[in-house]
Chain A
Amino acid sequence: MSEIDLTQYKGVWCFGEVRHGKLVTQTYELLTIGSRIAKELNEKLSVVLVGHNLQGWTQELLEAGAEKIYLLDHPELENFTDEAYTKALAELAAKEKPNKILIPATTVGRSMAGRLATILHTGAIADVTDLTLGPGTNGAGGRALNAIRPTYGGNLFVTVRCEKCRPEIITVRPMSFPKAARTPGKIGEIVNVPINPSSWNLKTKVVSYAPEQSSELDIGSADKIVSGGRGLGKPDNFNLVRSLAKALGAAVGSSRPPVDSGWIPYRHQVGLTGRTVKPKLYVACGISGQIQHLAGMGQADTIIAINRDPECQLMKMATFSVEADLNEFIPLLVEEIGKQKN
């Protein structure tokens, strides 16, 4: 890598993800950690929005802490493509020279970060769960982040630094930081960035989008998840899981066997070959807690295990373990939760 003057790079950017016309809530989590870092560096906190018809989000982002908002607004950017979004961001970053770029570790964010980093010849650090500002490597202006991330299925935590290059690009795992509070009426700078995607020779286009049919919450950004495993015994028993999820306001997850048996779609699978989640509450019903399942949910704050077998791994590691038959226990639990609410 060639040496660059790190002190030229100033400002903390948060990528504000607008997905299918909605601003994703992880943007507010980025603003919490972004503002902490920006204050410590005494640099500006900005949000970059890429898409189309973005004006509507600016006021709430300013109120949530952004001092400046860059709008990369163009009809051709309405739907996410790796090519167009990384091109748009790279052009702006090359011109403005930000110090840090924080991106949510969502489908869009994780898809984009590696490509963006390569175009900018800098480092990207994926799916980070904690971030602090570390010392500099070359002078006071070069302070790099200490980024902590789980690897090897949550069995090893590594602290990664991007010392020689800027901007540092970091994707942040959803639910790792609280959402930023709003200060009503706060104002800031809004920059409409002129862009011309037709000159980019793009080779990707989004043909169509089919929204998820069910009104269920997605496990990726849910506070609470209730998951079912092979212990459910039959596909219909996901109704038990759903009833508990409904009572708790939780999303529905699954271990792998029910997915492989076609009881529930793949998008609900938690684990090594499924998705990684970090909810406040994870309720595992009839799941034994094999290492490949723990890889996806081991970072949950509170874990409740409901299982017939008190000796299984999940029962041993859970915050609260309940030895019970789920067929009997879940309806009773739903009833008790109902009583609390009334």
Chain B
Amino acid sequence: MPLNVIACIKQTPATGAIQLDQKGEIVTSAMTYGISPLDEYALEEALRIKERVPGSWTAALTMGPAKAQEILRESIARGCDAVYHLSDDAFEGSDTYATSYILSQGIRKIIAEKGKVDLVICAKQASDGETGQVGPAIAAWLDWPNVSFVKKIEETTDKIIRVVRMMEDGQDVVEMALPALISVVKEIAEPRLPSLKGKMAAKKAVIPTWKAADISADAAKIGPGGSPTVILKKELPPKRSGGMKIDGATAQEKARKLVEKMKELKLL
């Protein structure tokens, strides 16, 4: 039975030093943006399902400013059948509660258009906010089951999905009835590069953009007004004072000196 699969992805800046302006806001002009690194694995697994289960359909969904279309074009280039862009000034400043609500409303609209969605794949976390909360929260809005830290999909049928979850003390095999949501880790699959044909398709693609009204979003649940949490302050991390070189004429002497230091700090 073919599956309809959506990968939820986000455009984030490449990880690096952050600059704050005088108001304490992030200076974004110098940043380069792309698909959040872990989202690449979510997208890849969504594409692999299409290859494993003939007739399946894979889409990418993102919420973000106009610029975020870039990652949707990239998704088409890698092989997605469809992409959806949720973009509205009213979405700006949404925390994980509001963001997950907006994405869940987008998924509801896709369900209405496609007849069904069986599986939504998110990454363990995005590289900017790093909360990991949006995926599980989407599942809560939809009242679907979800599993996080998924390292492998063992099996899918038309009714269930069975996955392997990475735990600190081993691994669990977990089965859910579909529709369901999973959040994946890097181990799940190695991302592909876009194909030439895909790149051509991406160039030509017309990307549907939905605003709050298009997804029937409740104004009380979006943006800063719909977000339970607020960011009070942004700060650069304290600089590590660091920097004691352990010198010695021989490696043995260095080892002895390092052990002394470790002893002083009660690290032995």
Contacts and interface: CB of A to CB of B under 8 A. Distances in A.
Contact of B185 (A266, A329, A341): A266
A341 B268 contact: yes
Interface of A is mostly: mixed
Given A114-B137, A119-B140, A160 B148 contact: no
Contacts of B205: none
B157 interface: no
Contact of A111 (B149, B169, B245): B149
Given A111-B148, A159-B231, A160-B231, A274 B186 contact: yes
Contacts of B144: 203
A121 B162 CA distance: 29
Contacts of B251: 324-325, 328-329, 332
Nearest to B268: A340
| B-side interface mostly | mixed
A146 B232 contact: yes
B192 to A, nearest CB: 16
B130 A151 contact: yes
A139 to B, nearest CB: 18
Contact of B129 (A151, A304, A319, A333): A151
A122 B145 CA distance: 20
B145 A204 contact: yes
Given A156-B234, A160-B230, A221-B168, A320 B244 contact: yes
Contacts of B147: 81-82, 111, 204
A332 B100 CA distance: 53
Interface string A255-272: 000000000001101001
Given A115-B137, A324-B254, A153 B15 contact: yes
A341 B18 CA distance: 44
A125 interface: yes
A279 B265 CA distance: 14
A134 to B, nearest CB: 8
Contact of A203 (B129, B180, B232): B180
Interface string A113-155: 1111111011111110000001000000000001001111111
B187 interface: yes
Interface string A141-179: 000001001111111111111111100000000000000
B64 to A, nearest CB: 16
A248 interface: yes
Contacts of A303: 240, 242
Given A118-B141, A295-B15, A320-B261, A208 B230 contact: no
A341 B229 CA distance: 50
B128 A115 contact: no
Given A113-B133, A152-B127, A156-B18, A323 B170 contact: no
Contacts of B242: 303, 316-319
A205 B174 contact: yes
Contact of B173 (A115, A162, A206, A212): A206
Interface string A311-336: 00000111111111100110011011
Interface residues of B, number: 87
Given A2-B220, A82-B146, A272 B127 contact: yes
A226 to B, nearest CB: 12
A155 B17 contact: yes
User: Among the interface residues A106, A155, A281, A295, which one has the most CB atoms of the partner chain B within 10 A?
Assistant: A155
B81 to A, nearest CB: 26
B244 A218 contact: no
A337 B268 contact: yes
A28 B143 CA distance: 32
Contacts of A125: 229
Contacts of A121: 97, 228
Contact of B136 (A111, A122, A164, A329): A111
A83 interface: yes
Interface string A272-316: 111010001100000000011001001000111000001000001
A114 B146 CA distance: 11
B226 interface: yes
A157 B235 contact: yes
A59 B247 CA distance: 51
B151 interface: yes
Given A204-B174, A303-B242, A321-B245, A107 B232 contact: no
A220 interface: yes
Contacts of B245: 310, 320-321, 323
Contact of B228 (A116, A123, A320, A321): A123
15 contacts: A1-B227, A22-B169, A86-B140, A110-B132, A115-B140, A116-B140, A151-B130, A160-B232, A162-B228, A207-B175, A209-B170, A210-B170, A319-B244, A322-B254, A325-B251
Q: Which 7 A-B pairs have the closest CB atoms?
A: A114-B133, A123-B228, A118-B140, A111-B148, A126-B131, A114-B137, A123-B229
Given A157-B234, A322-B254, A336-B256, 16 more contacts: A1-B221, A114-B96, A114-B137, A118-B136, A126-B96, A126-B133, A127-B131, A151-B130, A152-B15, A163-B228, A209-B167, A212-B169, A295-B15, A302-B265, A318-B243, A340-B268
